[in-house]
Amino acid sequence: VKRITTHVLQEMKDNGEKIAMLTGYDFSMAKILDEAGIDIILVGDSASNVMAGHETTLPITLDQMIYHASSVVRAIERSLVVVDLPFGSYQGDSKQALHSAIRIMKESGGHAVKMEGGKEIIDSISRILTAGIPVMGHLGLTPQSIYKFGTYTVRAKDEDEADRLIKDAQLLEETGCFAIVVEKIPADLAARVAQHVKIPIIGIGAGNGVDGQVLVVHDMLGINNEFNPRFLRKYKNLHNEMLDAFQMYIKDVRSKDFPNDKEQY
């Protein structure tokens, strides 16, 4: 199998082929994602929400991200594995940022890191890149800054913030990032960003004018039926399927239907 590299992703953008990315946090799910042919598995700090049940992405630790990432890496043959640097592991201190990124690469075997922000974290990004570690940017709605924003609504609706976002995207490209996630921004702005920079722009809630798409895997599988933003397409309703399976099992145990003669030794 041909492995996906940052160079393959650049070729995909240059050839107008869209990049498909989903999150993954564990071995079993990552194995299916890789088999399906997903280009990028993002070990997102959304693990803080979907795996650990926190309200925000802030509490997840570097050690926990390494645990999730190493589980994913053991499952894959083809996909590129990108790992989020968690809140507190890279902001405001480029030396600490490099140390955090090196720990992810060494201890998990992931292929790249992702970091939220533009100009304000450029020293950290640049220092990580000097170590030969590929960096994916993340602009627009950046959930690690949720207490600054106050809400999870669409970002960059006014011109000032839109201009800043385009400048940040250009800065990330010049600094050497291999791709950028743009989250929850107007579709026309996202399309402009994708035209302005040569590196791949991967959108979530950012319309169809970008170079690829990403979703949280539990959301697109419909495992969580309480999260229904407009941008989310649910490909299954696994919440109902799983609920049904668990209830059937409970019923079979209670009625002594399970196990039957063939299901025992």
Which strand (E) or helix (H) includes residue 108? helix 94-108
48 in a known ligand binding site: no
Is residue 219 a contact residue for Na ion (CB under 5 A)?
no
Rg of the chain's alpha carbons, rounded to an integer?
20
> Is 45 a binder of Na ion (CB under 5 A)?
yes
39 binds ligand KIV (CB under 6 A): no
Does residue 204 touch ligand KIV according to CB under 6 A? yes
Considering 35, 183, 226, 263, which one is annotated as catalytic? 183
Least Å from the CB of residue 255 to Na ion: 44
CB of 57 to ligand KIV, least distance (A): 6
183 is annotated as an active-site residue: yes
181 is written with which tokens?
Answer: 């996630």
- How many residues bind Na ion (CB under 5 A)? The answer is 3
Residues 61-90 that bind Na ion (CB under 5 A): 84
Question: Would you count residue 183 as binding Na ion (CB under 5 A)?
Answer: no
46 is in an annotated binding site: yes
Q: Among 181, 176, 184, 177, which residue's Cα sits nearest to residue 194?
A: 181
Q: How far is the CB of 227 from ligand KIV (least distance, A)?
A: 12
Span near Na ion by CB under 5 A; candidates 31-39, 42-50, 168-176, 242-250: 42-50
Phi, psi for residue 134 in degrees, rounded to 5: -65, 140
**Judged by CB under 6 A, does residue 45 bind ligand KIV?**
yes
Torsion of CA 185, 150, 123, 66, to 10 degrees: -90
Nearer to ligand KIV, 34 or 45 (CB): 45
Using CB under 5 A as the binding rule, whether residue 44 contacts Na ion is answered as yes
Q: What is the largest distance, in Å, between two alpha-carbon atoms of the chain? A: 70
**Of the two residues 63 and 257, which places its CB atom closer to ligand KIV in the complex?**
63
CB closer to Na ion, 146 vs 171: 146
Question: What is the DSSP annotation of 177-243?
Answer: -SEEEEES--HHHHHHHHHH-SS-EEEESS-SSSSEEEE-HHHHTT--TT---TTPPPS--HHHHHH
Interacting residues of 193 by C-beta distance below 8 A, sequence separation 6+: 165, 166, 169, 180, 182, 201, 210
Residues that bind Na ion (CB under 5 A): 44-45, 84
